Structure 1
Amino acid sequence: MRQPTPALAWLEPGQAFPPVETAWGPQDPAPGLLAAGGVLDVATLVSAYSQGIFPWYSAGQPILWWSTDPRMVLRTDAFRLHRSLRKSIQSLLRAGRLEVRFDHDFEQVIHTCSHMPRAGQSGTWILPAMVHAYIRLHQAGVAHSVETWIDGELVGGLYAINLGAMVFGESMFSRQSNASKMALAALAAFCRAQQIPLIDCQQDTPHLASLGGQLMPRQTFLQHVQKTTQLATPNWKFEPIYWQNLLGEHSPPA
């Protein structure tokens, strides 16, 4: 006999999150759902990410908090740079057309991510309240943008959360073919240079799997988060030399 769905915890502002082990399981309607309610202020979001919890909800819903099991992650040393993408990056770098910028225009990146149409989705989870919350995180030095600029134009990018030596990827956009993949490649190169071994990807998707993403048991993921969030936070600046580790020793500078 199927067990009844457990009651979902409701959070008041400032209230601590329940243990992640109480998140709904694979037999429940929304596996990984942990709690609802609360607020999207800086302190709550930092507390959430440091415990492997993230917000994700749609218009008309309360704030929903998740801790999925297993967790989709990208080991930075396993990032899969496909041959065609490698050639595109190298060609653009040789021509002096490609530049990677960190935190140059975080607000444009997150606003573009929130409005970018996506296959199979009729709306967005990056609602105005989420946009404002992550802009506040950016102002607090916790959220960062990785931006692909080609011929002086912002054509793709992503934003992510950074706590210590842990990076939590959030959303990407492309206005040009492969532009978001170039941003992710740059993030992987930066993380390798800064000895950041793992990027959290939250959700299992074929796109992330094609780039080297893999599933990790939640308990293993949480142990990694607990350890790495206590380490020093890197300086969020992309140096062209970071490409060399990803593209090869003789890659051209940006």
Structure 2
Amino acid sequence: MNALDVSDLSFAYGARQALNQVGFSLAPGRFAALLGPNGAGKSTLIALLTRLYDLQRGEIRVGGHSMREHPRPALKQLGVVFQQSTLDLDLSVEQNLRYHAALHGLSRRQSGQRVDAELARQGLSERRGERVRELNGGHRRRVEIARALLHEPRLLLLDEATVGLDPASRLALNQHLRNLCREQQLSVLWTTHLLDEVLPSDDLLILHQGRLVASGQAAALSLEHGGDLGAAFNRLTTVGATR
């Protein structure tokens, strides 16, 4: 069963079509990068995947559950890290995680076990008592990832997660997420505008003017459309480009 299936997804703001018949799937344990210029429809897609917007046309299934017909079990399969941090800076790392666990209905015992496990996985066990405002940007992102994984989702969605991080922190976070894909069979959908965050082995989705103009392994798409990722991206997202 795929972690994510999107089919025939269309969305309009009045007369303006933001997404037009978008469809793709994400298999277990895969890291997929979502690229697109400003106005391509990435933000609209993220809003639909997280149910900030209601579906107009098409279908989204997370872990086999329909977002339209069974939104609660679908959302339980989804962990989200938004571009803007939503951590409480004056609470400790552990307090932030326990609060989120309570929102998901975890018992105190379950909460304690999963908080311990995620802090260890993120390399943050020794910082559990520190206030979030005392952490650097890279560690705050790791806290957000730990929080998003507490309820054991099949799919982790990260929206421009490295904005504001220094190059070393960007690289470390990128590598850490790929390790989670390999070790936990977690699937990751990563939206970015930075081409150097995409590896040749990644799944790649390119949006342009509301359409999915390319999907497949990054290395294969690069060869098919110009020889390297930058050339392929420019060719596929020039004005008037079609699928």
Higher helix share: 2
TM-score relative to the length of structure 2: 0.31
TM-score relative to the length of structure 1: 0.30
